[in-house]
Structure 1
Amino acid sequence: MDLQTIWFILVTVLFTGFFFLEGFDFGVGILHPFMSRDDRERRTVINTIGPFWDGNEVWLITAGGAMFAAFPEWYATLFSGFYIALLLMLVALILRGVAFEFRSKHDNPAWRAFWDWSIFTGSAIPALLWGVAFANFIRGVPIDQSMNYAGGFFNLLNPYALVCGLASLSIFTLHGAVFLTLKTTGSLQERAMSLAKKVWAPATLLSLAFMIYTFIETDLYQRLGVNPGIIPVFSVLALLSVIVLLQKNASGWAFAMTGISIAFSTVTIFMGLFPRVLVSSLDPDWSLTIYNSSSSDYTLGIMTIVAAVFVPVVLVYQGWSYWVFRQRVSTDSELEY
């Protein structure tokens, strides 16, 4: 296995971890205004992700850093072509982070309402745009022979990408609802369970629509082959099992299944891309691959040593933080946000 493949796998792992962890963060933020009946309940909902949300975003920063260092041409083409979409996503994430910190700084109801809806907006926009971005990765965007993006912003908002965006938005919302059933108590837990059951149907239908549309619109499944094609089937089966598990109040298993569905969907996309990282809709030969967009072997070798040392440390630390804050949060708990 060459260094380019190793770093492609690492980027895949980083994005998979990001979507699994930040996915329920986005879902909680999206449901936040609809879950709560008063300010104390809203603070309780936010506190379910309070110790985790900023740590979860580190996965995105690390994935972006890995792309920049290992595949600079991919990074350059992506950020120039997707500039407006990524800027919009960044502004949303900043607004969301500021809202978490600012909403409790003043007791004025209008002040808190503004930041509550900022949390919703800052969660919903990235949840939608990540789906749009990855759909364009596999469908293809106009990239010329010089690896430059030759389209505009509205090229990215094609019907296929929007279906994928709605699918990612809905499945992250479901992931967040199931997470809330694990982290809340009493009436909040009952409402979270009810919302999870309601969100499951549109999330499942949109995910199936995206899979069918992918088969029609792209070469993803043809490139996967027979045996790797089992992975997207497992993703669908995991999602279908969620409603059964929710009916049996097996929230832990339901959360595991939404996480598996997200993880397998992400892995499917990267496997279908390999060895490409960004498909050219103008000419398949102009697509960016892990070879024509990578850094030198020397750079990749140094980075591999650094990653081998520090990635396990980060994983252990984040696992420890989840263990420390594993208890449920109730309206009687000491609240921060």
Structure 2
Amino acid sequence: MDLATLWFGLIVFFWSSYFVLEGFDFGVGVLARVLGRTESERGTLLSTIGPFWDGNEVWLVVAGGATFAAFPGWYASLTSAYYLPLVVILVALILRGVALEFRGKHDDRTWRRRCDLGIAVGSALPPLAWGIALAGAAHGLPLDARGVLVGGLGELLRPYAVLGGLALLAMCLLHGAVFLRLRTTGALRDRAGRAVVATAMPAIVLGGGFLAWTGVREGPAEWLVLIAGAGLLAGVLVRRDGWAFLATTVAVGLTVVAVFASAFPALMPSTLGHDLTIMNAASPAYGMRILTWAGALFVPAVLAYQGWSYWVFRKRVVG
């Protein structure tokens, strides 16, 4: 296997890890405002992601940095084409992070309600915008020979891309509801169970529709689509919390993998015939070798740290 193909696979792993881990964070951030009837209950629901959410965002840094280092042409075209959605994502993540950090710093009901609203909005916008960006980029954009987008905002909001954004948001809500059912007790767990039922239909309809559309496109994504769809259904139907969370994890992760795989070996197909591929967008071989050594040193450290943190904070949160 050449280094360009290896790093494409690793970058897909990094992006799927980000959406799996941040996916339930996003879902909890939206659902906490709905399921928590008091400030104390909302605080308890948000405490389920307290030890994890900022560590989960490390995968965004890893994925973005690896994309820039391994495929600078891909990174440049993606960030220039989706400049506005990326700004929305960054502002939303800043709003969410500030609200999570400062919610408990001021003992005022109005302040906490505003923070809860900021957390909800900051958790809903990123999966929607990321889904639109990644699905649209994999589906194809009018890129010229320089990798520059020809056209306006309408080119970014094609039906497949919009469905991808809505599907990822719906799946994150289901993923978050299953996580809350896994991590809470008593009345909050009962409400989380009802949230699983409430979020199931949008996730199945939007996620299933997006997976079906992805599966009929050219590319080696058919089996990934089938397994992701099975995971989506299992997450709804399985009653054991741990297995249900594993199922939604598989569904979210393989949906992201299927999007990337559907365009392989292209990174960003061009409707004008100027595709960015893993070969013409890759860094020189020397840079790839340095990146590989760096990845061999640091990626296992990130995995070990995150595994340790999830093990330490594995118990249910009691309100």
Does the TM-score normalized on the shorter chain lie above 0.5? yes
Are 1:289 and 2:277 matched, yes or no?
Answer: yes
| Residues 141, 151 of structure 1: 8 Å contact kept | no
Q: Is the 8 A contact 1:85 1:153 kept in 2?
A: no
Asked if structure 1 preserves the Cα contact closer than 8 Å seen for 2:215 and 2:225, the reply is no
- 1:134 and 1:81 mapped to 2: Cα distance? 11
**How far apart, CA to CA, are the structure 2 residues paired with 1:95 and 1:180?**
22
The one-character-per-residue Cα deviations of 1:253-292 (angstroms, maximum 9, x if unpaired) are 0000000111111121222222111111222xx0111111
- In 2, Cα distance between equivalents of 1:298 and 1:52: 36
Native 8 Å contact 1:81 1:151 kept in 2: no
Query: Where in structure 2 are there 5+ consecutive unaligned residues?
Result: none
Cα displacement string for residues 223-258 of structure 1 (whole angstroms, at most 9, x for unaligned residues) = 22xxx5222111111111222213xxx011000000
Instruction: Between 66-75 and 151-160, report the one with greater CA deviation.
Output: 151-160
Find out whether 1:123 has 2:110 as its counterpart. no
Mapping for residues 189-208 of structure 1, pairs under 5 Å = 189-208=189-208
What CA distance in whole angstroms lies between the structure 1 residues aligned with 2:56 and 2:90?
15
Separation in 2, partners of 1:317, 1:210:
34
Runs of 4+ with >3 A deviation: 212-216
Aligned position for 1:266: 256
Q: Partner letter of residue 92 of structure 1?
A: A
Once the two structures are TM-superposed, the CA of residue 215 in structure 1 deviates from its matched residue by 5.2
Q: Which residue of 2 aligns with 1:68?
A: 68
User: What is the TM-score of this pair, normalised by structure 2?
Assistant: 0.97
Q: Tell me if the contact between 1:23 and 1:175 (Cα under 8 Å) persists in the aligned partners.
A: yes
Q: Helix, strand or coil: the match of 1:49?
A: coil
Task: Tell me, in whole angstroms, the C-alpha distance in 2 between the residues paired with 1:80 and 1:151.
Answer: 12
Structure 2 matches for 1:1-337, cutoff 5 A? 1-214=1-214, 219=217, 222-224=218-220, 229-246=222-239, 250-283=240-273, 286-331=274-319
Deviation of residue 307 (structure 1)?
Answer: 0.5
Tell me, in whole angstroms, the C-alpha distance in 2 between the residues paired with 1:313 and 1:242: 30
The alpha-carbon distance between structure 1 residues 215 and 16, as it changes in their structure 2 partners (threshold 3 A), is closer
Question: Percent of pairs identical after alignment?
Answer: 48
Instruction: Measure the CA separation in 2 of the matches of 1:34 and 1:24.
Output: 15
Contact 1:96 1:119 in 2 (8 A): yes
SS of residue paired to 2:150: coil
Residues paired across the two proteins, number: 319
Give 2:228's aligned amino acid.
S
Equivalent residues of 2:212, 2:225 under 8 A apart: no
Contact 1:81–1:152 (CA under 8 A) maintained in structure 2: no
Alpha-carbon displacement from aligned partner over 1:45-80 (angstroms, at most 9, x marks no partner)? 111000000000000110000011111111111111
Change beyond 3 A, Cα 1:34–1:68:
same
Counterpart of 2:269 in structure 1: which amino acid? V
Structure 1 gap ranges (5+) = 332-337
AA of the residue aligned to 1:52: F
**Amino acid of the structure 2 residue aligned with 1:311:** V
Asked if structure 2 preserves the Cα contact closer than 8 Å seen for 1:70 and 1:300, the reply is: yes
1:154 shift after superposition: 3.0
Post-superposition Cα deviations, 1:146-205, rounded to whole Å, max 9, x if no partner, equal: 211222223212222111111111000000000001111110000001101111111001
Moved more, 291-300 or 148-157: 148-157
Query: Take 1:302 and 1:96, find their aligned partners in 2: how far apart are those partners?
Result: 35
The Cα RMSD (Å) is: 1.2
Q: Taking structure 1 as the reference length, what is the TM-score of the superposition? A: 0.92
**Aligned-residue offset at 1:212:** 3.4
AA partner of residue 304 (structure 2): V
Residues 214 and 258 of structure 2 are in contact (CA less than 8 Å); yes or no, is this contact kept in structure 1?
no
Contact 1:138 1:278 in 2 (8 A): yes
